[in-house]
Amino acid sequence: MELRPQRPDTGKIFYDKLRHTYIQLRNFVKTGKDLDSDLDKWLHVLKYITQMDKMPAYLRKPIFKKMFDIAEYSNLTKEERMKYDASVKQKWDNYSALETAKQDGKIEGKLEIARKMKADGQPLELIVKFTELSAEEIEKL
C-alpha cells in the first residue's frame, strides 16, 4: 500500500515527491532461491532473521554480513558483550601500537640514512630530498 504525506488539518497532499510504502511481512512468502532482488533479500531477512542460525549463502554481501554481525552482537548477554568489547578494544590497541612502532621505525630509518649521508659529506638538499626530513632535523644530527 502506498500513501502520500498529507496535512493533518486539511488532508491535502503537501509534498507529492515523498511516498510511504507499507509492507506486511507476513504476506511475504519468497524463500532462498526465489529471491530475485536486493529488496526481496531484505524482506526475507527481516522476516526470518530470528530463525536463522547463520547467514545463508544467497545473502553473501557485505551489507548483510554487517547486519548479521549487529544482530549477533545484540543477542549477546551483558557479560558476553563486555568480553567482546574488551577483545575489540585490545585488538585496536594492538593495531595502534603496531602502527606507531612502524612509524617510529620509519623515522629512525630516515634518521639513520641522514646520518650516513651527512657523514659521507652529501649536500643538505640531497639529504632532505631522499629522507624527507627537514633541514633543521638534519642539522641537529
Length of the chain, please?
Answer: 141
Side chain identity, residue 141: L
pLDDT surpassing 80 at residue 13: no
Exposure letters 91-109 (e unless 16+ CB within 10 A, then b): eeeeeeeeeeeeeeeeeee
pLDDT at 100: 94
pLDDT surpassing 80 at residue 21: no
pLDDT interval class at 133 (50, 70, 90): confident
Residues 47 and 28 sit within 8 Å (Cβ to Cβ): yes
The reported pTM is: 0.52
Comparing CA positions, the residue from 52, 25, 18 lying closest to residue 40 is 25
The model's pLDDT over 85-123, given as tens digits with 9 standing for 90+, comes to 999 999 999 999 999 999 999 999 989 988 998 888 888
- What value does the CA radius of gyration of the chain take, rounded to a whole number of Å? 30
The model's pLDDT over 57-90, given as tens digits with 9 standing for 90+, comes to 888 889 989 988 898 898 899 999 999 999 999 9
pLDDT surpassing 80 at residue 49: yes
Extract the C-alpha cell encoding 111.
634518521
